[in-house]
């Protein structure tokens, strides 16, 4: 499994994403100005402050040359994981439903959060037990997941809510405690907390984040046919 990790000007978590991916496969950095994904089997859009978060988080990064290729890759069924700012970029790009708004507490908040795995049958969570609890750090100012009620009901019905904040851990005010959602086909996942920062008990507080990278590594490399839901998206 070859991971490609995107680097935008202002990214800051690409190094940890590379290190996490390198624990389970090969990993290479992909520059935002390049359209070439260099044969990557899975793409990680990492955290940080791409293009300074100007205008809205992810609004400008979404039009970077590399994103044209990432969007085409995702439409063809390729695995794409967006973490924090990467989640914001994927929402802005229309690869994931909804938007991330300013935290309800109005503060940049950095803390360990507990997540509940709602779907353990996605390419990103297949090594987790259903209902498993993951302890992973979160650090952001704009992580309040928002979609209108109709969309939220549809996401729920189609099983696109992959991760939720455990009771008492939804510090940013995300609607329905949503921490991570996938697209309808199941090959694109975005989440606000940082699994790449939790791959080593010594420095991450837990190694629970590794499960996401292991799951991707164990996914057959032609993922288009194996998504969650109806797969019609």
- Positions marked active-site: 84, 194, 196
Looking up tokens 């402050």 gives 49
Which residues have a Cβ under 8 Å from the Cβ of 182 and sit 6 or more positions away? 96, 119, 122, 124, 160, 162, 188, 189, 190, 228
195 belongs to the binding site for another protein (CB under 8 A): no
Taking CB under 8 A as the criterion, the residue among 35, 52, 104, 230 binding another protein is 104
Minimum CB distance to another protein, residue 12 (Å): 23
Residues 29-48 that bind another protein (CB under 8 A): none
Taking CB under 8 A as the criterion, the residue among 9, 10, 77, 102 binding another protein is 102
Taking CB under 8 A as the criterion, the residue among 55, 203, 224, 230 binding another protein is 55
98 belongs to the binding site for another protein (CB under 8 A): yes
**Count of residues in contact with another protein, rule CB under 8 A:** 18
Asked if 216 contacts 123 with a C-beta cutoff of 8 angstroms, the reply is: yes
176 belongs to the binding site for another protein (CB under 8 A): no
The tokens describing 72, both together, are 């085409």
The tokens describing 191, both together, are 């989440």
Minimum CB distance to another protein, residue 18 (Å): 30
Which residues have a Cβ under 8 Å from the Cβ of 233 and sit 6 or more positions away? 183, 184, 185
Nearer to another protein, 101 or 192 (CB): 101
Residues 59-78 that bind another protein (CB under 8 A): 59-60, 63
Asked if 46 contacts 196 with a C-beta cutoff of 8 angstroms, the reply is: yes
Q: How many CB atoms lie within 10 A of CB 105?
A: 12
173 belongs to the binding site for another protein (CB under 8 A): yes
CA distance 190 to 7: 17
Nearer to another protein, 91 or 115 (CB): 91
Instruction: Determine the interface stretch with another protein among 128-136, 142-150, 189-197, 200-208 (rule: CB under 8 A).
Output: 142-150
- Please report, as ranges, the residues that interact with another protein according to CB under 8 A: 55-56, 59-60, 63, 92, 98-99, 101-106, 144, 146-147, 173
């Amino acid at each position: 499994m070859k991971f490609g990790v995107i680097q935008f000007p202002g990214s800051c978590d690409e190094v940890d994403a590379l290190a996490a991916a390198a624990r389970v496969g090969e990993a290479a950095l992909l520059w935002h100005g390049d359209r070439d994904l260099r044969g990557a089997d899975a793409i990680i859009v990492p955290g940080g402050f791409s293009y300074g978060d100007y205008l809205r988080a992810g609004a400008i990064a979404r039009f970077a040359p590399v994103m044209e290729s990432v969007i085409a890759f995702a439409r063809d069924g390729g695995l794409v994981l967006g973490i924090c700012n990467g989640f914001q970029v994927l929402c802005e790009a229309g690869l994931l439903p909804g938007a991330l708004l300013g935290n309800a507490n109005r503060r940049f908040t950095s803390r360990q959060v507990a997540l509940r795995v709602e779907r353990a049958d996605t390419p990103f969570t297949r090594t987790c037990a259903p209902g498993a609890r993951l302890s992973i750090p979160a650090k952001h100012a704009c992580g309040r997941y928002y979609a209108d009620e109709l969309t939220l009901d549809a996401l729920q019905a189609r099983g696109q809510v992959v991760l939720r904040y455990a009771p008492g851990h939804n510090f940013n005010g995300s609607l329905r405690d949503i921490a991570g959602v996938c697209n309808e086909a199941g090959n694109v996942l975005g989440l606000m907390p940082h699994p790449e920062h939790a791959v080593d008990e010594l420095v991450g507080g837990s190694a629970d984040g590794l499960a996401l990278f292991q799951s991707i590594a164990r996914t057959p490399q032609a993922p288009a046919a194996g998504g969650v839901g109806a797969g019609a998206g």
